[in-house]
Amino acid sequence: MTPFEIWVKKEVDLMRAWKTKKDAYTVNAFADSKLVAFAKDAMLEKLTKAREKGRHGWWDPEVCTVEDLKVALFDQFYGEFDMVDIMNFAAMIYVREIADREETKTPPKPAAPPTERG
């Protein structure tokens, strides 16, 4: 296991131990925060390695289209199936679709906040 994987395993084991000692909302809020931290660190490491190999421009329509990103994501599902690459391509598409969206005179209505679940 890599040092990162050891860290993830320790944190998840801690969450699992807390499950019976703390209220569900607190444990789930902690787990959600850790999920974002784990994903961010893994995604950034992979993006850094790709950039060092000369990959760039996911944000620039002159370098890469949203369709290019969707093809790369699709290829991950039917090829290597690397979860970190899948997260990265999905995030790139998500951000590009927002950034490339035509502005309207009336901004879209914000989504209703999620309801608390037990």
Top pLDDT among 90 and 116 is at 90
pLDDT single digits (tens) 44-57: 999 999 999 999 99
* Both structure tokens of 116: 């608390």
Give Cα 90 to chain centroid, integer Å. Answer: 7
Inside any domain, residue 114: no
Give the whole-angstrom CA distance, residue 110 versus residue 118. 24
Q: How many structural domains comprise the chain?
A: 2
What is the structure's pLDDT at 74? Answer: 95
Q: Could you tell me what percent of the chain has a pLDDT over 90?
A: 63
pLDDT single digits (tens) 82-113: 999 999 999 999 999 999 998 665 666 677 76
- 8 A C-beta contact, residue 69 and residue 86: no
Q: Are residues 27 and 60 in the same domain?
A: no
The set of residues, in sequence order, having a beta carbon less than 8 Å from that of 9 and lying 6+ positions away, is: 1
The set of residues, in sequence order, having a beta carbon less than 8 Å from that of 72 and lying 6+ positions away, is: 85, 89
Q: Are residues 81 and 95 in the same domain?
A: yes
Arithmetic mean of pLDDT over the chain: 88
Structural domain that includes position 84: 56-102
Inside any domain, residue 3: yes
